[in-house]
Amino acid sequence: MTIVAPSILSADFSCLKDEILKIEEAGADWVHIDVMDGNFVPNLTFGAPVVKQIRKVTKMFFDCHLMVEHPETYIDDFAAAGADMVVVHAETTRHLHRCIQAIHAKGIRAGVALNPGSPLALIEEVLSDVDMVLIMSVNPGFGGQKFIPEVLRKISRLRRKLDLAGLRTDIQVDGGINAETAAQVVGAGATVLVAGSYVYGSKDVKAAIASLRIFKQGE
């Protein structure tokens, strides 16, 4: 069964506590926290102090996606703030393996992310070291974008690589996820789905989350 991780990038920031409790009560599994620095992506969002405050609101799994340059300088702060997993972009650090080691040293899960135009070759050498690979299905920076269908081939290739290596690494997909695209990416091999505007823009948040919870054959 897929893990559903609504992105609070699409939440109402004026009542963030209520927005997080809304998805928790609606059955979400994780909270996806998009951290943007205005350099790697053209937007600014949350810092570790915000994560520290919303950690008081819920015990849900915090999936912190760092879309920032030099992510190694922020790992300690987000781990201390209550992140359960920190995901860094392969495109943003010269020492990806060291960065992953630093995350694991904090006793939390580590993930690596790739933009739509970035090849799998960037992460092949660390696949056995990460808990999750995040495949972006939009160009990062803003919510509400249209799904890029070409990433389906990338997801399929990654799933084959992981299966051949005997790795149980999760594949997360973020960008343009709705009931239709969810079925496509899960069919290609995804196990974790991030959805922002589809969930928070729905009149029935519980139904929106349920529509993303896809059961694979044999489950």
d(CA 198, CA 177): 7
Question: Radius of gyration (Cα) for the chain, nearest Å?
Answer: 16
Question: 3-state SS of 113-129?
Answer: EECCCCCHHHCHHHCCC
**In this structure, is residue 137 part of a structural domain?**
yes
Closest CA to 135 of 69, 75, 189, 68: 189
Question: 3-state SS of 23-78?
Answer: HHHCCCCEEEEEEEECCCCCCECCCHHHHHHHCCCCCCEEEEEEECCCHHHCHHHH
Amino acid present at 42: P
Q: What is the pLDDT of residues 193-216, one digit of tens each?
A: 999 999 999 999 999 999 999 765
β-bridge partners, 135: 114, 173
**In this structure, is residue 217 part of a structural domain?**
no
d(CA 114, CA 2): 20
How many percent of the chain have pLDDT more than 90? 90
Q: What is the pLDDT of residues 101-159, one digit of tens each?
A: 999 999 999 999 999 999 999 999 999 999 999 999 999 766 667 899 999 999 999 99
Q: What is the pLDDT of residues 177-192, one digit of tens each?
A: 999 999 999 999 999 9
Question: Residue 218: its pLDDT value, please?
Answer: 47
Q: Give residue for tokens 């987000």.
A: 78
Q: The domain spanning residue 64 has which CATH number?
A: 3.20.20.70
**In this structure, is residue 218 part of a structural domain?**
no
Q: Give residue for tokens 């694991």.
A: 104
Q: What is the pLDDT of residues 1-37, one digit of tens each?
A: 899 999 999 999 999 999 999 999 999 999 999 999 9
By annotation, the residues acting in catalysis are: 34, 174
**In this structure, is residue 219 part of a structural domain?**
no
d(CA 155, CA 147): 13
Domain ranges, residue 167:
3-212
d(CA 47, CA 49): 6
* Structural domains in the chain (count): 1
